[in-house]
């Protein structure tokens, strides 16, 4: 069992930056690929934003995040981060982190993830 707690969301102006954190409790954090998803206002589905392999060696981004967002992990702190720069109003969403146990590769589908946090709100004003 893994519990995930996100933090770092808030209100920021367009062009600004935020760093989201997701701290995990439980066993074997280093065995989980970690993903960041977001759910925009009025949308039912969560969108994959970025993911990092359990080995830490590979990272994946959705097209809208490439060049602006960076995912990283610190297994000693059981924490995964999402550094978000050059934020846009369309980045406004509830951001979730999720854990996928020992996958072959990072997967973008939310149904592949075993554990989810409660989310942290990011609001970007124009």
7-25 pLDDT, tens digit per residue, is 999 999 999 999 999 999 9
d(CA 97, CA 52): 11
Q: Which two tokens stand for residue 5?
A: 């707690």
pLDDT digits (tens, 9 = 90+) for 75-117: 999 999 999 999 999 999 999 999 999 888 888 999 999 999 9
Residue bearing tokens 């977001």 = 38
> What's the average model confidence in pLDDT over 61-67?
97
Distance of CA 34 to the CA centre of its chain: 7
């Amino acid at each position: 069992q893994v519990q995930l707690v996100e933090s770092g969301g808030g209100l920021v102006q367009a062009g600004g930056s935020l760093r989201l954190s997701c701290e995990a409790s439980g066993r074997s954090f280093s065995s989980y690929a970690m993903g960041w998803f977001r759910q925009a206002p009025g949308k039912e589905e969560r969108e994959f934003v970025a993911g990092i392999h359990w080995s830490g060696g590979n990272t994946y981004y959705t097209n809208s995040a490439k060049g602006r967002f960076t995912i990283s992990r610190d297994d000693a702190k059981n924490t995964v981060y999402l550094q978000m720069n050059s934020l846009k109003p369309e980045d406004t969403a509830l951001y979730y982190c999720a854990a996928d146990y020992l996958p072959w590769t990072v997967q973008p589908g939310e149904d592949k993830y075993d554990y989810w946090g409660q989310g942290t709100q990011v609001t970007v004003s124009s």
